[in-house]
């Protein structure tokens, strides 16, 4: 089973967001998306660093964080290089 959820003060969307597609050989644009969704599209053996862009907090549950920026940038070839994602809590704005 797959359940969708929203916060109590939010309205449910008319349709579900499409499932993320695997990244392939090109880096997708993850800016503004949830970090958990971003990670799910990347290869399992990818070297991924996730760091808090707002404070120096540890990112324990990626489902509570959104991507602020990314390195490499969207459109870059994925060749096994390390990937870095500065993130902010979902309700925060990126600095």
Task: List, for residues 27-71, the tens digit of each pLDDT value.
Answer: 999 999 999 999 999 998 999 999 999 999 999 999 999 999 999
Specify whether the CB–CB gap between 78 and 23 falls below 8 A.
yes
pLDDT at 42: 94
- The residues pairing with 65 across neighbouring beta strands, listed in sequence order, are 89
pTM assigned to the model? 0.81
What gap in Å lies between CA 64 and CA 43, rounded to an integer?
21
């Amino acid at each position: 089973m797959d359940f969708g959820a929203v916060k109590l003060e939010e309205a449910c969307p008319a349709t579900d967001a499409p499932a993320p597609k695997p990244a392939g050989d090109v880096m997708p644009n993850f800016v503004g998306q949830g970090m958990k969704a971003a990670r799910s599209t990347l290869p399992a053996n990818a070297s991924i660093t996730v760091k808090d862009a707002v404070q120096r907090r540890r990112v324990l549950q990626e489902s509570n964080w959104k991507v602020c920026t990314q390195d490499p940038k969207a459109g870059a070839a994925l060749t096994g290089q390390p990937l870095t994602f500065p993130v902010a809590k979902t309700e925060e704005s990126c600095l």
